[in-house]
Amino acid sequence: VLNNDENYDGIFFNAVKSTGIFSRPSCKSKLPLRDNVSFYENGQAARKAGYRPCKRCRPDLLEYHPVKDIAKQSRKIIKQYFHTRDKLELEIKKLGVSDHRIAEIFKEEYGITLLEYTNSLRLDQVKKKLQNMDDDIVTIAYEVGFESLSAFYRFFRKYTG
């Protein structure tokens, strides 16, 4: 508990009397006073003793990987809103993690940057729209999230040659 050692996750749970919360040994929450801590073999025993699960480490879930969840959620948000910057920023902020940390997590999980992922989505969308040619170039550029035609042309030349 002192070292937040993941090796003990699933072996026991610790509960804090002053907060009424039980958590995994690896939880990064504030270190409680030793007199306020009790240990339980499983989450059910901690619940039975009147404790509720920690919202940070989620000991009530068998498998919880917050970093993977943030990466997955951010990827989903980017895929849905890559073409509207304001909405994208708003939805990303709802994750409750700094932009810098999201960028780090995304790169760790997927091996590409947020910009690379966003650009690949834009390029795929542009190619689809150009094949249909239902819209003119200006409309396509704005629909995929470019704020100017010159930015669109630079992007398109860079990625398609």
Q: What is the pLDDT along the chain (161 residues), one digit of tens a residue?
A: 667 777 778 789 999 999 999 999 888 888 888 899 999 998 899 999 999 999 888 888 866 677 888 899 999 999 999 999 899 999 999 988 899 999 999 999 999 999 999 999 999 999 898 888 788 888 998 999 888 889 999 998 888 87
0.75 cut: is pTM over it?
A: no
Domain 6-53 fold is DNA Methylphosphotriester Repair Domain (3.40.10)
Q: Which long-range contacts (CB under 8 A, 24 or more apart) does 130-137 make?
A: none
Sequence-distant (≥ 6) Cβ neighbours of residue 87 within 8 angstroms: 81
Task: Give residue limits of the domains in the chain.
Answer: 6-53, 66-160
Answer yes or no: CATH 3.90.730.10 is held by domain 66-160.
Answer: no
Q: What CA dihedral angle connects 29, 33, 36 and 38, to 10 degrees? A: 70
Whether 66-160 and 6-53 are alike in CATH topology: the answer is: no
